[in-house]
């Protein structure tokens, strides 16, 4: 291979190797026990996400209904005209 081609590959390979070693170390370290505060905050976030998902679902249903009404009105005007 051309040495000019290898020049940029060496630092890139080093960065990838460093990241791989760091990830491997993080996976081998046992996670610290979560505190009650963190657990409560995660549960609150999960609850909020569920509420947002429900609201998004209801909004999507309303949008679908409005689109059906608009399509129906447009089709009726096309038939009359």
**For position 79, what pLDDT does the model report?**
84
* Local structure of residue 32 (DSSP, 8 states): P
d(CA 80, CA 72): 12
Is 80 found in the same domain as 54?
A: yes
At 35-63, the pLDDT tens digits run 888 888 999 999 999 999 999 999 999 99
**For position 9, what pLDDT does the model report?**
66
Q: What is the pTM of this model?
A: 0.50
Tell me: pLDDT of 34 over 80.
no
Average model confidence (pLDDT) across the chain: 82
Quote the domain boundaries for residue 5. 1-30
Is 66 found in the same domain as 39?
A: yes
More confident position, 23 or 50: 50
**For position 51, what pLDDT does the model report?**
93
Is 56 found in the same domain as 19?
A: no
Return the structure tokens found at 30: 């046992």
């Amino acid at each position: 291979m051309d040495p000019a081609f290898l020049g940029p590959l060496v630092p890139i390979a080093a960065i990838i190797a460093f990241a791989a070693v760091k990830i491997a170390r993080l996976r081998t370290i046992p996670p610290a026990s979560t505190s009650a505060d963190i657990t409560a905050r995660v549960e609150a976030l999960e609850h909020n996400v569920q509420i947002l998902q429900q609201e998004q679902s209801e909004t999507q249903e309303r949008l679908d209904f409005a689109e059906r009404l608009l399509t129906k009105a447009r089709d009726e005007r096309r038939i009359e005209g």
